[in-house]
Amino acid sequence: MKATLAAPEIVTRKGKPVSVIIPIKDYEELLERAQDAEYAAWLKRARRKPLRYRSLEDYLERSTPTRHCRTCSYVG
């Protein structure tokens, strides 16, 4: 069964809108826009922070190997 809606269908409960039925393509576009906006906000916050660099030697010196789990000897 294939039905296309010309406009969103609003579902009401006790006379108040509670949900909207929209075509899946519209829903996917909304999700993509929301994700793009979330990423843009994250990027804007990240750009406010000053960049900090350290040498590879310093990183390797300060990082310590951690065990994968308590029962095995894998170090990664």
Vertex 28 angle, CA 31 and 45, to 5°: 20
Q: pLDDT for 7-63, tens place per residue?
A: 899 999 999 999 999 999 999 999 999 999 999 999 999 889 888 888 898 888 887
Q: Is residue 50 part of a domain?
A: yes
For residue 45, what are the domain limits? 9-62
Provide the whole-model pTM.
Answer: 0.48
Q: Is residue 57 part of a domain?
A: yes
In a domain, 18, yes or no: yes
Q: Average pLDDT, whole number, for the chain?
A: 84
Domain contains 68: no
Per the CB < 8 A criterion, the answer to whether 74 and 68 are in contact is yes
Position 67 in a domain = no
Does some domain include residue 1? no
Is position 72 within any domain? no
Output 1 or 30, whichever has higher pLDDT.
30
- State how many domains the chain has: 1
**Residue 41 in contact with residue 58, Cβ under 8 Å?**
no
